[in-house]
Chains A and B, each alone.
Chain A
Amino acid sequence: MILVTNNILAFNKYGKEIEVKFNEETLCELLFRVRDFVHSGHKLLTHPLSGSVKPNETCFKSVLISERKEGTDFESLKIIENSIQLVKNFQKYEIPKEYLKDLREIDLTLIGGAIRK
């Protein structure tokens, strides 16, 4: 599996165990990048809207995708497209810097549970 993330903690923790595609980018940019991977034949392994922290309350997300490329998986495509659509419904605003540490930690915990499986 491949981890697509904009969370540096996830990169630092899992970079040696599995392939990690890390970019410093916004949540939307991250989701677009995941969609590109799906278009090129990777399957989603975890849900792109994992966690109930709302898209305008967090800026970090880690998503697991399959290593193997096959034909486009339409179930994955539907999930990522719907997720992007829903994220657009939220008003954007600046997230206070002092919260970033906790938000990275929550994302790390959520994806950590999935990776351990």
Chain B
Amino acid sequence: MNLKLGYIQIRDIQFAKTSAIKDGVLNVNAKELEALVLEDENFASVKFDIARPGESVRIMPVKDVIEPRVKVSGDGDIFPGMISKVQTVGSGVTHVLKGAAIVTTGQVVGFQEGIIDMTGLGAEYTPFSKTLNLVVDFTPIKNLTPHKYEESLRKAGLRIAYEIGKLGKEITPDEVKEYEFLPLLESIAKYPNLPKVGYVQMLQSQGLLHDTYVYGIDMKLSLTTMLSPTEVFDGAILSGNCVSACDKNTTYHHQNNPVIEDLFEQHGKTLNFCAMIITNENVFLMDKQRSSDWTAKLTKYLGLDGAIISQEGFGNPDTDLIMNCKKVEEAGVKTVIITDEYAGREGTSQSLADADPAADAVVTGGNANQVITLPPLKKIIGSIGHVEKIAGGFKGNMAKDGSITVEIQAIIGATNELGFNRLSAR
């Protein structure tokens, strides 16, 4: 598969009478989008707002972040199986509104988490303090169940991103990158001397607020399978995961998966990136057994020399991660795992719910129990609710000046397990 991503650099977002992109400025007619959202009778109202880097704005509780993209040529359409019809994507030309993001917020359940600060210390911990955010705040009708609210909210966010993405169809991109993913045998023939490396992506799939969709299919119902990484760039994998702000993968993370981008960068130079495997993280131990068996079987069948395994979430998925790692290593394939840690505030406690000597190459996204103090910000989009009590916080953590002390697990993407975050160490 060959996919060209054309990046249209967005410099600002403005509300306007006509939706269009002019000289890098994304003009948005909020009324039109409101009408689109309210076609879903589960919503009582919807509010649009804009948050720019550096502004004194806090957004919470964030449910998803989505990058607007549009299919210019090639099979299928963006967000297949969810917003557009089911057809294989990942080839042709796709335009990306780079620098812009749709951020959805809404109180699906009582407790809240998922903070994006556009300035101050908190901004250093989330990548979405650097994007121009069109924030959509959804209010449901009364007595809507959390299941239905979550589904409506998730789809509405994707529809908005889809509509906004379309504005970039006729625009000439500022930069074009080409990604080629060959059939396995061709890839091996082309780079016979390079190590064959695959990417195993684990997808959250535990239940309400903890799901991931692949071509519209709830991943907990799928066996471990394969796809082309270029399909992911076109929105084949979508987030329905609203819990665990710091280490969940939003749709934006999937669309910009840095493991895939980096493997492509090294492809043909230091390694042969020739397989992508996706697997789930169910709660039933028997499912874990089955899925990790399949992961190992596939890596062996494909004849991989090495695999990178990325996790999503905390606790329960630690067990899937270690099962995958151990079994893939036993199949004779070297692994590197990517995770994050809950090592206590001092960072000295056991940090994962599972471990094995086979996991001897580990990349961490950081310690989610690390404590930071967020300064008071002038404007809140969404609702602050009881953040000081619930979102990685603790009793009495709001100071007189309005600053709040929280664990970084409260911040969207702070310890992301795809490596799409701003934490680093020397």
In the bound assembly, the distance between CA atoms of A78 and B353 in angstroms comes to: 9
Specify which chain B residues have a CB less than 8 angstroms from the CB of A50 in the assembled complex: 206, 283, 315-316
CB distance from A60 to the nearest CB of B (A): 12
Which listed residue, A49, A79, A91, A102, touches B109 by the CB 8 Å rule? Answer: A102
B353–A95 CB distance below 8 A: no
* Bound Cα distance A103, B243 (Å): 12
Q: Which residues of A contact B144 (CB under 8 A)?
A: none
Query: Which 8 interchain pairs have the tightest Cβ spacing?
Result: A49-B315, A52-B244, A102-B109, A50-B283, A99-B110, A109-B208, A89-B344, A47-B316
Residue of B with least CB distance to A105:
B146
- List residues of B (316-355) whose CB comes within 8 Å of A's CBs: 316-319, 342-345, 349-355
Closest to B348 in A: A89
Q: Mask for B262-284, Cβ within 8 A of A = 1, else 0? A: 00000000000000000000111
Residues of B within 8 A of A95 (CB): 111, 389-390
Q: Does B198 contact A (CB under 8 A)?
A: no
Interface hits, A7-59 → B, CB 8 Å: 44-47, 49-57
Determine whether the beta carbon of A96 is less than 8 Å from that of B386: yes
Nearest CB to that of B346 among chain A residues? Answer: A89
Q: Which residue of A lies closest to B395 (CB)?
A: A93
Contacts of A102 in B (CB 8 A): 109-111, 146
A-B contact pairs, 28 of them (CB 8 A): A46-B285, A47-B285, A49-B316, A51-B283, A52-B241, A52-B317, A54-B314, A54-B409, A82-B318, A82-B352, A85-B349, A86-B350, A89-B351, A89-B369, A90-B342, A91-B394, A94-B395, A95-B389, A96-B110, A96-B386, A99-B390, A102-B111, A103-B111, A105-B109, A110-B206, A110-B208, A110-B210, A111-B283
Tell which of A53, A79, A98 touches B319, judged by Cβ atoms closer than 8 Å.
A79
Q: How far, in Å, is B380 (CB) from chain A's closest CB?
A: 19
For residue B316, which residues in chain A have a CB less than 8 angstroms away from its CB? 47, 49-52
Of listed A46, A47, A79, residue having the most chain B CB within 10 A: A47
**Bound CA–CA A96/B247 (angstroms):** 24
Q: Which residue of A lies closest to B350 (CB)?
A: A85
- How many whole Å from B281's CB to the nearest CB in chain A? 9
- Check if A57 sits within 8 Å of B319, measured CB to CB: no
Contacting residues, chain A, for B386 (C-beta < 8 A) = 96
Within B368-426, the residues touching A (CB, 8 Å) are 369, 386, 389-395, 407, 409
Q: Which among A46, A93, A99, A106 is the interface contact of B208 at CB below 8 angstroms?
A: A106
Assess the A106–B109 pair: CB atoms within 8 A.
Answer: yes
Contact of A106 among B209, B314, B342, B343 (CB under 8 A): B209
B220: CB under 8 A from chain A?
yes
Using Cβ atoms and an 8 Å threshold, which residues of chain B touch A86?
315, 342, 350, 352-353
Would you give the shortest CB distance from A79 to chain B, in whole angstroms?
6
Further 16 A-B residue pairs, CB within 8 A, beyond A79-B285, A86-B352? A50-B315, A52-B206, A52-B247, A82-B350, A86-B315, A86-B353, A91-B394, A99-B110, A103-B110, A106-B109, A110-B207, A110-B283, A113-B206, A113-B220, A114-B282, A114-B283
